[in-house]
């Protein structure tokens, strides 16, 4: 039994990059670690370094041939053309970079260690995790491994049966859906931008009855997310009576993100983190997408603060502000003239708005489905 939430991090996330043109050229987890330390939220008591997972462990979900190719890609910094095509390695989305095995294997190692730490109850946070597109036999959408799937399989091994998986990344978690579509003891809920890659996750997909997709239109705002939380996410997860909740908290659904067209503030994510905290005896929170380094650093630090039950300061102390000002980002229009608040605060101004009919109608469809499922 752990006594408070545990943070799984690592220095490999500070020094590695997917390459100078890739959206993941920016630091993310290291910014969260530095901000959390500057705020007094991280110490030897609640921080653990994520271990690098071995292929024998990763093969719980991934094909040994693919894992061998990933290790070979790291060792040789190259792969034959046929392997590149088969495993989708060395593409513009999934480049071969110096830590191409060790970095995702450390993210997965963090998520796997997190599941062991909460085996008998507790909370853990693996912000390097949440790589929800990874497939058994190939890389997919910046994800070389699928740590949410590995983590859920590990929970199963540890005797945890009913798992509620909630995903609020801007993209649909196709890799997780692939793994658990036929599993009646995994509830899957995803809120994601409609008509965006990977183009899966339709409203009418039901799996074996435990799959709930809420595709949302451009400009999705805090008021709309609040309704989704109140009417769908909250009641569904509570009604499922899970033994564990796994939340993928991708930070690419905020207004500042360069890869999506949604318009949330980080308050929306923190509200979900907070609402799901008391629902099950075990709570695992993961990272995910997020490509504006200031926005993702602030959002994920606030997730940690929310798990700790800490007060979010109105203005950041100088040391924390310096962390954000030291992060460089260029090569995107949203990198130009960043708002001053991105450096001086953690909490965004709320972004409420009208709840559009299309959002209301889709929420009603999902509500209708679970009302008939569990009563
Ligand atoms: Zn995403």
CA of 258 to the centre of ligand 1 (A): 11
CA of 120 to the centre of ligand 1 (A): 31
The pLDDT of 316-343, averaged and rounded, is 95
- Position 373 scores a pLDDT of 67
What count of other Cβ atoms lies within 10 Å of the Cβ of residue 47? 15
pTM across the whole model: 0.98
CA distance 319 to 135: 40
CA distance 73 to 212: 37
CA of 216 to the centre of ligand 1 (A): 14
Tokens of 342: 């991105």
> Rounded to an integer, what is the distance from CA 359 to the centroid of its chain?
23
Report the sign of the C-alpha dihedral through residues 287, 191, 253, 225, in that order. negative
The pLDDT of 82-110, averaged and rounded, is 98
Percent of the chain with pLDDT over 90: 94
CA of 71 to the centre of ligand 1 (A): 25
User: Is 133 considered catalytic here?
Assistant: yes
DSSP state of 334: G
Marked catalytic residue, from 22, 62, 132, 133: 133
Say yes or no to pLDDT of 3 above 80.
no
pLDDT digits (tens, 9 = 90+) for 161-197: 999 999 999 999 999 999 999 999 999 999 999 999 9
Cis omega (within 30 of 0) for bond into 137: no
CA of 291 to the centre of ligand 1 (A): 9
CA of 327 to the centre of ligand 1 (A): 21
- Position 2 scores a pLDDT of 46
pLDDT digits (tens, 9 = 90+) for 24-48: 999 999 999 999 999 999 999 999 9
DSSP string, 282-299: EEEEE------HHHHHHH
CA of 253 to the centre of ligand 1 (A): 8
The pLDDT of 75-96, averaged and rounded, is 98
> Rounded to an integer, what is the distance from CA 261 to the centroid of its chain?
18
CA of 252 to the centre of ligand 1 (A): 6
Residue 168 near residue 262 (C-beta atoms within 8 A): no
Q: Residue 125: exposed, middle, or buried by beta-carbon count in 10 A (0-12, 13-18, 19+)?
A: buried
- Position 257 scores a pLDDT of 97
Say yes or no to pLDDT of 366 above 80.
yes
CA of 169 to the centre of ligand 1 (A): 5
Type and span of the H or E element at 267: helix 266-276
- Position 209 scores a pLDDT of 87
CA distance 171 to 190: 9
- Position 1 scores a pLDDT of 42
């Amino acid at each position: 039994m752990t006594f408070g939430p545990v943070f799984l991090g690592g220095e490999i996330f500070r020094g590695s990059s997917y390459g100078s043109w890739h959206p993941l050229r920016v630091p993310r987890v290291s910014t969260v670690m530095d901000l959390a330390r500057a705020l007094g939220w991280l110490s030897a008591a609640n921080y653990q370094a994520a271990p690098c997972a071995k292929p024998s462990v990763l093969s719980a979900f991934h094909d040994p041939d693919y894992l061998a190719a990933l290790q070979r890609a790291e060792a040789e910094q190259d792969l034959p053309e046929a392997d590149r095509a088969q495993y989708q390695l060395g593409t513009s989305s999934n480049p071969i970079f110096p830590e191409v095995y060790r970095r995702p294997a450390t993210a997965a190692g963090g998520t796997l260690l997190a599941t062991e730490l909460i085996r008998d109850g507790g909370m853990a946070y693996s912000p390097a995790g949440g790589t929800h597109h990874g497939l058994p036999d190939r890389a997919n959408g910046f994800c070389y491994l699928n740590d949410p799937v590995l983590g859920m399989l590990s929970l199963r091994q540890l005797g945890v049966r009913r798992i509620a998986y909630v995903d609020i990344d801007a993209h649909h978690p196709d890799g997780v859906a692939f793994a658990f579509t036929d599993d009646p003891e995994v509830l899957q809920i995803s809120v994601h931008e409609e008509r965006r890659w990977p183009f899966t996750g339709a409203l009418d997909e039901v799996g074996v009855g435990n799959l709930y997709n809420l595709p949302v239109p451009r400009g999705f705002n805090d008021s709309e997310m609040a309704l989704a939380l109140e009417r769908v996410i909250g009641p569904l997860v509570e009604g499922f009576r899970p033994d564990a909740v796994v939340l993928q908290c991708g930070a690419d659904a905020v207004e500042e993100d360069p890869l999506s067209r949604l318009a949330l503030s980080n308050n929306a994510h923190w509200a979900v983190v907070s609402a799901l905290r008391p629902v099950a005896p075990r709570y695992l929170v993961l990272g995910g997408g997020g490509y504006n380094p200031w926005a993702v650093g602030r959002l994920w630090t606030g997730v940690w603060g929310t798990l700790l039950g800490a007060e979010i300061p109105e203005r950041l102390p100088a040391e924390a502000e310096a962390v954000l000002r030291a992060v460089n980002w260029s090569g995107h229009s949203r990198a130009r003239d960043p708002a001053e608040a991105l450096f001086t605060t953690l909490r965004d101004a709320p972004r409420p708005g009208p709840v559009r009919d299309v959002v209301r109608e889709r929420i009603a469809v999902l509500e209708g489905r679970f009302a008939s499922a569990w009563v």
